[in-house]
C-alpha cells in the first residue's frame, strides 16, 4: 500500500461481518466509507450512508455524496441467505432472483459504480466476500440453490474482473462460518477474527483472481 491512508469502501457495513470489517479497517488507519445503515458503534468513518445495492440509482446517489475521488479497496460484503437448506421442490423462485440480485448483481453494480474511483488508485483492490457454498468442487450442504448460485456467480465476477483489469488485485474470500445474524450463534468463527483475516488479505493480497479463505488458504473454485 502507499504511504497515505488507504481509502476503503465496504458494503453491508452496518452490522455483522461488514461492521467488523469497518472496525478493523478504521482501527488500522484506513479511511472507511461504509455503505449500509448508519451504526454509531463504528469509529472514525470517513463517510457513511444507506444504499440498497439492488438499485443502480441508490448506488449512484451514494457515490455522488462521496468526499473522495479515489477508492483503494472495495469490499463487496453485503449479502443475503434466505434459503438455507431449502430443496428444489420447496424453493421460492422470487427469493432466488432476489438473492442473485443482491449477492452477485449487487456486487457488480457497486463495482461498476466504483470503477472510476478504483482506476485513480495506485493499488486498486477488490475483495468479494463469497462463501465455500459457491465452490463448484466443495459442496458442503444440499439445497440453498439461490445462495449457492449467487456465490458461484460472484466468484465468476472475481475471475472476470481480474482478467479485464490486470492492474487490480481481485479476490474472492470465504469468511468462514461466522457468528453473525446470517451465520447463527453456533457458527465456529468469531466475526472479529474473520474480519482481521480478511483485512490482512486486503493489505497484502497473496494473488489476484483467486479464491481464499479468511486465513489466506487457497480454495478450489
Ligand X SMILES: NC(=O)c1ccc[n+]([C@@H]2O[C@H](COP(=O)([O-])OP(=O)(O)OC[C@H]3O[C@@H](n4cnc5c(N)ncnc54)[C@H](OP(=O)(O)O)[C@@H]3O)[C@@H](O)[C@H]2O)c1
Strand extents, DSSP E, the chain: 7-11, 31-35, 45-49, 73-76, 125-129, 169-174, 210-213
Residue numbers 64-103 binding ligand X by CB under 6 A:
77-81, 102
**3-class state of residue 32 by DSSP:** strand
Q: Does 175 bind ligand X (CB under 6 A)?
A: yes
Binders of ligand X: how many residues, by CB under 6 A?
A: 28
Residues 6+ apart with CB under 8 A from 55: none
Catalytic residues: 147
Provide, rounded to whole angstroms, the least separation between the CB of residue 80 and ligand X.
5
C-alpha cell at 94: 422470487
Residues 48-67 as x/- pattern, contact with ligand X by CB under 6 A: ----xxx-------------
The distance of closest approach from Cβ of residue 86 to ligand X in the complex, given in angstroms and rounded to an integer, is: 16
Q: What's the closest the beta carbon of residue 121 comes to ligand X, in angstroms?
A: 23
- Residue 42's nearest CA partner among 14, 12, 62, 75 is 14
CA within 13 Å, CB half, 186: 0
- The cell numbers describing 217, all together, are 488458504
DSSP code, position 216: S
Q: Which x/- pattern over 131-170 shows residues binding ligand X (rule: CB under 6 A)?
A: x---------------------------------------
Q: Considering the rule CB under 6 A, would residue 120 count as an interface residue with ligand X?
A: no
Footprint on this chain of ligand X (rule: CB under 6 A): 11-12, 14-18, 36-37, 52-54, 77-81, 102, 129, 131, 175, 177-178, 180-183, 187
Amino acid at each position: 500500500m502507499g504511504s497515505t491512508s488507504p481509502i476503503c469502501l465496504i458494503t453491508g457495513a452496518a452490522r455483522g461481518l461488514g461492521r467488523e470489517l469497518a472496525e478493523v479497517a478504521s482501527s488500522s488507519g484506513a479511511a472507511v466509507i461504509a455503505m449500509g445503515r448508519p451504526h454509531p458503534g463504528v469509529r472514525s468513518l470517513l463517510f457513511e450512508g444507506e444504499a440498497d445495492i439492488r438499485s443502480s440509482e441508490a448506488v449512484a446517489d451514494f457515490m455522488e455524496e462521496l468526499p473522495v475521488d479515489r477508492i483503494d479497496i472495495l469490499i463487496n460484503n453485503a449479502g443475503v441467505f434466505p434459503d438455507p437448506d431449502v430443496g428444489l421442490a420447496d424453493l421460492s423462485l422470487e427469493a432466488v432472483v432476489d438473492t442473485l440480485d443482491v449477492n452477485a448483481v449487487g456486487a457488480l453494480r457497486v463495482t461498476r459504480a466504483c470503477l472510476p474511483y478504483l482506476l485513480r488508485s495506485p493499488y486498486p483492490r477488490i475483495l468479494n466476500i463469497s462463501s465455500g457454498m459457491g465452490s463448484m468442487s466443495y459442496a458442503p450442504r444440499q439445497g440453498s440453490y439461490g445462495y449457492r448460485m449467487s456465490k458461484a456467480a460472484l466468484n465468476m465476477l472475481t475471475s472476470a474482473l481480474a482478467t479485464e483489469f490486470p492492474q487490480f488485485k481481485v479476490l474472492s474470500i470465504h469468511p468462514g462460518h461466522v457468528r453473525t445474524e446470517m451465520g447463527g450463534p453456533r457458527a465456529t468463527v468469531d466475526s472479529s477474527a474473520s474480519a482481521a483475516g480478511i483485512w490482512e488479505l486486503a493489505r497484502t493480497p497473496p494473488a489476484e483472481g483467486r479464491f481464499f479463505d479468511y486465513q489466506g488458504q487457497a480454495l478450489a473454485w
